[in-house]
Amino acid sequence: VKEPLFQEQGLFHEGQVLFTFLHLAADKTLTEALLKAKSVGIAYETVQKDDGYLPLLAPMSEMAGRISPLIGSFYLAKHKGGSGKFIAGVPGVPPAKVVIIGGGTVGTNAAKMAAGMRAQTVILDINPERMRYLDDIMSSNVTTLMSNAYNLEKVLPDADLLIGAVLIPGAKTPRLVTRKMLKFMRKGSVIVDVAVDQGGCVETTHPTTQDDPVFEVDGVTHYCVANMPGAYPETSTLALTNVTLPYTLKIANKGYRQALGEDKALARGLNLLEGKVTC
């Protein structure tokens, strides 16, 4: 459930069809290696329906969204460098406050989990219609807020857990939380930047691994694993295969050119062809 690794780049060759996650906007080295090899790159994350839905990205976004409050809660523990605040609270002691930037698939699933853990949850988004929808379906401990620098600075001081859930399909994620904004956050708070595989929406984030997942900046723990669903490979593999297999069979049975010609959603996934970037 991850883009090709650096050590696999020597296996690229001309005419080879790679149908997988690529995340090229955040990885110049991988892009250059694929271009040099003249491989065909069809990216899961940019296969897109006419209505904008990303059918192959959705399962991993759902996974990452649901994982993020669990991970954040774990690193709020005092012995993990956190503030020691229990995300759910107890009678007489309020729960933690979770701030989620982005109300798409990742953000919605993160909010469902955080709210289910009784956290006071805020979702920031730029789409009023999306916020109306979230306001209708979410529980009473979830509120929505227009995403802008002013409102971010307003909510960061109270955030125990900040979840970055921003996505611009096929493009590098904008850095919405700057290094200067980090000073508004309390020491012992936690950032889980799910957007790190597209560059991250927090300026101080950089990709980490499951073996070494966190680092600290200005007293704030950063969890920036670029393949969060990989921690739960059984569920992730089954969820991903459920949606990728029909497209895989189409490419295998018809060849990639005919398959792309017949399926507009799949055609939008074409990122690289004959040594050129096509997206």
**Active site residue ranges:** 23, 197
Please give the structure tokens belonging to residue 98: 């979770």
Q: What order do you get walking across the sheet with 17-20 strand by strand?
A: 17-20, 40-43, 270-273, 276-277
User: How far is 163 from 141, CA to CA, in rounded Å?
Assistant: 17
For tokens 């398959």, name the residue. 259
Cross-strand pairs, 142 = 121
Cα dist from 210 to 23, 71, 151, 154, whole Å: 19, 12, 32, 32
